[in-house]
Amino acid sequence: MSVVEHVREMAAAGLHSNVRLLSGLLLTMSGNNPELFSPSQKYQLLVYHADSLFHDKEYRNAVSKYTMALQQKKALSKTSKVRPSTGNATSTPQSQCLPSEIEVKYKMAECYTMLKQDKDAIAILDGIPSRQRTPKINMMLANLYKKAGQERSSVTSYKEVLRQCPLALDAILGLLSLSVKGAEVASMTINIIQSIPNLDWLSVWIKAYAFVHTGDNTRAINTICSLEKKSLLRDNVDLLGSLADLYFRAGDNKNSILKFEQAQMLDPYLIKGMDVYGYLLAREGRLEDVENLGCRLFNISDQHAEPWVVSGCHSFYSKRYSRALYLGAKAIQLNSNSVQALLLKGAALRNMGRVQEAIIHFREAIRLAPCRLDCYEGLIECYLASNSIREAMVMANNVYKTLGANAQTLTLLATVCLEDPVTQEKAKTLLDKALTQRPDYIKAVVKKAELLSREQKYEDGIALLRNALANQSDCVLHRILGDFLVAVNEYQEAMDQYSIALSLDPNDQKSLEGMQKMEKEESPTDATQEEDVDDMEGSGEEGDLEGSDSEAAQWADQEQWFGMQ
């Protein structure tokens, strides 16, 4: 057995560090004495050495060695063409054990993707003739084309993957995300469904995700629920994660959190979707739970975007925007397609006053997830923050037309209309339509309450908020109800509402401010009431003044404490 064969055996056995050391020494020997190894042996040594570098994540160095290997293979091919065939049977096994040139090119493409050099990756894979492309090459090409915006080429590559592997579900999702009709995709799998038992669910699965990618959240939820209820697919983590994401997109945060919790209980090491889960918990003020979730995810893997996004959400809702910005940037570095990371970084930039930079991130999020309303909401908030009401109105109208007239799009359009005095009545009509569709939609309730507050229709606002809180509890709704109750002099109940709001989110500054304001207004009133009572009882004047001063000092201490928070 030759030394090169020993290197090959170690590579096959996964002894990468050993291969790297030995192949490095042998390549140096070959450089000093070109006659020491044959061209085919040198080609093998270069490939095995590059593979060991790839395993050590030294991608640029690996690309260099793969390139040298391909040049060596090219020279080897030319030599074999010049030399006539001797008919020697011993040459056949040697040629058979040579590393595949196509596999070398695929490894080079992997290196380029890790180095964020997608154009180079596409170029190296494009150089492989179509007939020689394996399913994994077509899959990588499809993903790269999609990322580069070359949709037609991406569709062709995904279809080629399905032609070779009709149960490649990720390729199916890729086609659906590129607006290929669900019926067309299903037709590519019909033969395999009919020939294999217990695959009847696949056509329903394709239908469900076709709804997902067209933004029809309600029908997608219903279809996935029908799948999830089937005994064979009950408690599937991927389906539960998809349901959680769909509920989130539909604005049903309560059910979204519930489904994420179910998925997490079934798979304690689940990472996918946990960034959205962390965001929802942070929005509810459950920052301790967010912190615990972030720690747990970091213990599972710090090489995914999700742990960084969750920690970023904790920082953002703790008003540490610089740290949230850093954590969002780190998440994007790990996964440039992470929509939640882009939204986190965009929101942090917006709150730091860097609106134009934030707009870039929200636009990229929209490109990656055109059916997610929160991406558009972030962009519109940036436009409104920079007083670009016209751009915000155009975007809101486009969303309304693209995603359809549902409670969320109606509320988003109404939000923009509220910024212009001319379109106040239109905003009112839109909000009424939204609340007719979904009386419990919190954002619509908040905006309608805002409108009623402007019109000083506090009794109507109180009725609206009580109705919304009948079947749910939300910090913002309780706080606004407190504000409305103050306006109609219902101070005790207002204080109760602020207390409930703070129990739901202890960091809600506006609820604290509402309580502070009430305490400032109530303290002189209380003192006056005490004096009146004392006068009726015939108490001494000196005692009255002392009691009043003592109470005022107590309220002053409390005000100082609240001011420090």
Residue 332: its pLDDT value, please?
A: 96
Task: Please identify which residue in the block is written with the tokens 């080609």.
Answer: 43
Q: 225 and 295 share a domain?
A: no
pLDDT at 104: 96
Q: Is residue 513 part of a domain?
A: no
Q: Do both 112 and 31 map to the same domain? A: yes
- What are the backbone dihedrals phi and psi of residue 543, each rounded to the nearest 5 degrees, phi first? -65, -35
User: Binning pLDDT at 50, 70 and 90, where does residue 562 land?
Assistant: very low
Q: How many CA atoms lie within 13 A of 489 on its CB side?
A: 1
pLDDT of residue 92: 43
291 and 351 inside one domain = yes
For residues 140-151, average pLDDT: 94
Helix (H) and strand (E) counts in the chain = 32, 0
Pair (12, 111) in one structural domain: yes
Contact at 8 Å (CB) between 84 and 133? Answer: no
The 3-state DSSP class for residue 389 equals helix
pLDDT of residue 228: 84
Residue 327 near residue 315, CB atoms below 8 Å? yes
CA torsion 39-40-42-47 (nearest 10°) is 140
Give the pLDDT score at 511: 83
Give the pLDDT band (50/70/90) at residue 513.
Answer: confident
| Confidence at residue 381, expressed as pLDDT on a 0 to 100 scale | 94
Residue 406's contacts (CB-CB under 8 Å, 6 or more residues apart) are 437
Q: Tell me, yes or no, whether 245 and 350 share the same domain.
A: no
Backbone angles phi, psi at 86, to 5 degrees: -90, -10
Decide if pLDDT at 539 tops 80.
no
Query: Residue holding tokens 């055109």?
Result: 370
Q: CA–CA separation, 192 vs 205, rounded Å? A: 14
Q: Cα separation of 66 and 68, whole Å?
A: 5
Residues 70 and 191 in one domain: no
CB-CB contact of 386 with 362 (8 Å): no
Shared-domain flag, residues 27 and 124: yes
Cα-Cα-Cα-Cα torsion 481, 483, 484, 489, nearest 10 degrees, comes to 120
pLDDT of amino acid 285: 86
Tell me: the pLDDT tens digits for 187-231? 999 998 889 988 889 999 999 999 999 888 999 999 999 988 877
187/69 same-domain check = no
Q: Which domain holds residue 231?
A: 181-251
**Span 89-102, pLDDT tens digits:** 344 444 557 899 99
Looking at 335, 365, 395, the residue that finishes a domain is: 365
Q: Per the domain annotation, does 156 fall within a domain?
A: no
Q: Percent of the chain, pLDDT > 90?
A: 67
Query: Quick one: pLDDT band at residue 523, thresholds 50, 70, 90?
Result: low
Residue 218 maps to a domain: yes
The chain-wide mean pLDDT, for the chain, equals 87
User: Are 123 and 190 in the same domain?
Assistant: no
Nearest to 276 by CA among 239, 301, 248: 248
pLDDT per residue as tens digits for the range 343-378: 999 999 999 999 999 999 999 999 999 889 999 999
Q: Each residue of 157-167: pLDDT tens digit?
A: 999 999 999 99
Q: Is the dihedral of CA 120, 123, 125, 128 positive or negative?
A: negative
Q: Is the pLDDT of residue 88 over 50?
A: no
Q: Is residue 416 part of a domain?
A: no
CATH number of 352's domain = 1.25.40.10
Domain's final residue, options 365, 386, 401: 365
Residue 337 lies in a domain: yes
Clarify whether residues 121 and 219 are in a common domain. Answer: no
pLDDT at 63 > cutoff 50: yes
* Residue 389 is assigned to a structural domain of this protein: no
pLDDT bucket at 87, cuts 50 / 70 / 90? very low
Of 168-172, 240-244, 251-255, 516-520, the one with minimum mean pLDDT is 516-520
Q: Which of 365, 394, 414 is the last residue of a domain?
A: 365
Task: Identify whether residues 122 and 215 lie together within a single domain.
Answer: no
538: pLDDT strictly greater than 50: no
Instruction: Tell me: pLDDT of 492 over 80.
Output: yes
> Is 53 part of a structural domain of the chain?
yes
Please report, to the nearest 10 degrees, the dihedral formed by the alpha carbons of residues 335, 336, 337, 341 taken in order: 80
Same domain, 15 and 124: yes
Which of 391, 378, 313 is closest to 346 using CA atoms? Answer: 378
Q: Count up the domains in the chain and report the number.
A: 3
DSSP symbol at 234: T
Residue 240 covered by a domain:
yes
